[in-house]
């Protein structure tokens, strides 16, 4: 992440070792299904976030939209 990126590194999360949230798992399952991948059981919040980031990079769903979900220009 760049110095101007306000997001914290997942390694610095105080809750990163807690179980992944319901919304994380739901979105992750959607991305994984589209990529033909399985979602491992017992993911932490940090692990789920990393997997979401990786799958978003490969997903046509996220490549077709620009920031905020609008059409890319």
Residue 70 lies in a domain: no
1 domain residue, yes or no? no
- 46-72 average pLDDT score: 76
- Please state, as a whole number, how many other Cβ atoms lie within 10 Å of the Cβ of residue 52: 20
For the stretch 36-40, contacts whose Cβ atoms lie closer than 8 Å and that sit 24 or more positions apart, written own/partner, are none
- Is position 32 within any domain? yes
Average pLDDT in the chain? 80
Output DSSP code: residue 9.
Answer: P
Within a domain: residue 67?
Answer: no
Is there a domain that residue 42 lies in?
A: yes
DSSP state of 65: B
Comparing 31 with 13, the larger pLDDT belongs to 31
Spell out the residues 6+ positions from residue 26 whose beta carbon is closer than 8 angstroms to its own. Answer: none
Number of domains in the chain: 1
Task: State the sign of the Cα–Cα–Cα–Cα dihedral 50, 55, 61, 63.
Answer: positive
Instruction: Tell me the residue range of the domain where 46 lies.
Output: 22-58
6 domain residue, yes or no: no
Asked whether residue 38 is assigned to any structural domain, the reply reads yes
């Amino acid at each position: 992440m760049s110095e101007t990126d306000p997001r914290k590194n997942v390694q610095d999360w105080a809750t990163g070792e807690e179980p992944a949230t319901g919304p994380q798992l739901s979105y992750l399952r959607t991305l994984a299904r589209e990529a033909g991948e399985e979602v491992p059981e017992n993911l932490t919040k940090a692990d789920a976030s990393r997997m979401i980031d990786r799958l978003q990079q490969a997903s046509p769903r996220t490549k077709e939209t620009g920031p905020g979900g609008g059409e890319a220009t």
